[in-house]
Structure 1
Amino acid sequence: MKKYWLAVLLGVSVLAAGCKGSTDKTDTAREAEAENKETEDQEKEALKTDGTKDAILAGAGTLSDAAKSAYRSVLDDIYYNQQFPNGLELDYNGSDLSENKYGVYDIDGDGRDELLIAYTTASADGQMFLIYDFVEALDAVHEEFTGFPAATFYDNGVVRADWSHDPSTVEGSDFQPFTLFIYDEEVNTYEFLGSVCQQDKPDVYYQTLAGGEETEIDETVLKDWLDFCIGDAGQIEVPMVELTEENIKALK
């Protein structure tokens, strides 16, 4: 009988020890889970910028060493000297240059990643959205697009660039004047499609098309034109990072 109870007591002791070990393990697991969650939160916070950088570097992986070197050179010239390719002159207002942004992305769908720059550290007239393509045969960058920085890109090759200023004197109007461009693969540039603004009359728009004069149109004509040019094309979200020394050096 004593042996029986001894066995029972030993069993209970082992069970209790097992339960305590299980409890300790659960507490440890909870602590580890809390630590992992904190680490994940920190990583998610970091990925708000690093994730975008990773996307850019992944896109840059399709570039040749010569192309990456050329793009870095363009960014270096802008960052350190405020100089732009092809003699383009834009002013500089003395703001922090990291307010500008850049990306490497095949925006025109030609299979090569372009260099995209949103340059905003300038007066309103000097701010630009720039696109450069690297031409292997010339060992140089080619300018595809210069337009105002508030640009929306569509997957049918159209770009809508809002104007930096509004000439309208119509009180209460929230219409934003804009210009449309479309990518022309043959010349490897974005060509002018037309622009629209208001001036001094409500519900009247002034449209200028390629090679044409300014004409008055109403809202119906404007809508039909936008439907024809853009239609149901989707917007392209371009990954961009701040223009900093670190981000420029990451393009390698």
Structure 2
Amino acid sequence: MRKYWLAVLLGVTVLAAGCKGSTDTTNTAKEASAEDTETTVNQETETSEIKGTTDDIAAGASTLSDAGKSAYRSVLDDIYYNQQFPNGLELDYDGSDLSENKFGVYDVDGDGRNELLIAYTTASADSQMFLIYDFVEALEAVHEEFTGFPAATFYDNGVMRADWNHDPSTVEGSDFQPFTLFVYDEEENTYELLGSVFQQDEPDVYYQNLAGDEDEKEIDEAVLKDWLDFCIGDAGQLEIPMVDLTEENIKVLK
């Protein structure tokens, strides 16, 4: 079902992006929905991270096999002690306190398995990332579901909004935060790109680059609202308990 939903979403968002603004036939419910997305359009969204406890980590780990807990602990140990990441991923380290990074164990994609989520921020802006790993029992190894923008907001329909490492004040008179939408693909076990939206020079002009497009296209706020309403709509925002990356917290995965 997720694969079918992904195909429909990718197809319909292309059609939705081609519609310019509202018409006289737009019903009241659709107008209300557009109003509900105004904050998402004009401001940076809150991330899905909430302050967690060791009990949250223990609860997430309780559904894992011993091999899964060991694999997640190994990933965290490598980051904490050696600043090394799975699959040869290279991220720098700015020398600040590693406990400023966060991690959680949570089923963020809704596939019934608890993933390892890491917010890595002790690095230059270009190397700060949100990382998601899934333990694959058949391979006895972690699988990378996502590496990307650190400010990630997750929804219960499988969509993720990732805000860019970008200061919105670079466009004078605008508080718009550029972002990219992804959606979880259960068959591929990864987050697939839906599209990105950003501004360049003018505060009321947006540029959208959908998956599969070679170039961005100029859109107005009405089109952007319609796209967000279709992709996110009334989906609930997940609250993911995250704890500091410390030796004590990593040891909970035992």
Who is 1:87 aligned against? 88
- Deviation of 1:166 after TM superposition, in Å, equals 4.0
CA distance in 2, matches of 1:170, 1:58: 44
Please give the per-residue CA displacement for 1:42-95, whole angstroms capped at 9, x wherever unaligned. xxxxxx97x621022112100000000000000000000000000111010000
* Aligned residue type for 1:248: I
TM-score, normalized by length of structure 1? Answer: 0.79
Say yes or no: does 1:240 pair with 2:239.
no
Residues 168 and 199 of structure 1 are in contact (CA less than 8 Å); yes or no, is this contact kept in structure 2?
no
Task: Tell me how far apart the structure 2 counterparts of residues 248 and 55 of structure 1 sit (CA, whole Å).
Answer: 12
Query: Partner letter of residue 162 of structure 2?
Result: A
Match of 2:241, SS state, is coil
CA–CA separation in structure 1 for the residues paired with 2:58 and 2:244:
14
Q: Distance in 2 between the 1:81 and 1:65 partners?
A: 23
CA displacement at 1:170 relative to structure 2: 2.5
Q: Is contact 2:116–2:134 with CA below 8 Å preserved after alignment?
A: yes
Q: Match for residue 156 of structure 1?
A: 157
Matches within 5 A, 1:111-150: 111-150=112-151
Residue of structure 2 aligned with 1:231, choices 230, 233, 249:
233
Gaps of 5+ in 2: 1-49
State the alpha-carbon separation in 1 of the partners of residues 248 and 167 from structure 2. Answer: 36
**Structure 1 CA distance, aligned partners of 2:105 and 2:61?**
6
Mapped pair 1:214 → 2:216: yes
Alignment of 1:158-237 (within 5 A): 158-166=159-167, 169-212=170-213, 213-237=215-239
What's the counterpart of residue 25 of structure 1? Answer: none
Separation in structure 2 between the aligned mates of residue 224 and residue 241 of structure 1, nearest angstrom: 36
Structure 1 residue matching 2:79: 3-state secondary structure: helix
Write the letter of the residue equivalent to 1:135.
Answer: V
Instruction: State the partner residue of 2:59.
Output: 58
How far the C-alpha of 1:149 sits from its partner, in A, is 1.2
* Contact 2:183/2:194 (8 A) holds in 1: yes
Return 199-208 or 165-174, whichever deviates more.
165-174
Deviation at 1:169, TM superposition (A): 4.1
Q: Of Structure 1 and Structure 2, which has the larger fraction of its residues in helix?
A: 1
Q: For 1:178 and 1:168, how far apart are their aligned partners in 2?
A: 15
Cα RMSD (Å) of the superposition?
A: 1.4
Distance in structure 2 (CA, Å) of the matches to 1:114 and 1:103: 8
In the alignment, the residues of structure 2 paired with residue 52 and residue 158 of structure 1 have an alpha-carbon distance, to the nearest angstrom, of 26
C-alpha distance in structure 2 between counterparts of 1:173 and 1:201, whole Å: 8
What 5-or-longer segments of structure 1 have no aligned partner?
1-47
Aligned residues: 204
Report the AA paired with residue 65 of structure 2: S
Cα distance in 1 for partners of 2:170, 2:217 equals 18
TM superposition shift of 1:167: 7.3
Larger CA Rg, structure 1 vs 2: 1
Task: Give every structure 1 segment of 4 or more consecutive aligned residues whose post-TM-superposition deviation is greater than 3 Å.
Answer: 166-169
- Name the residue aligned to 1:33: none
Alignment correspondent of 1:249: 251
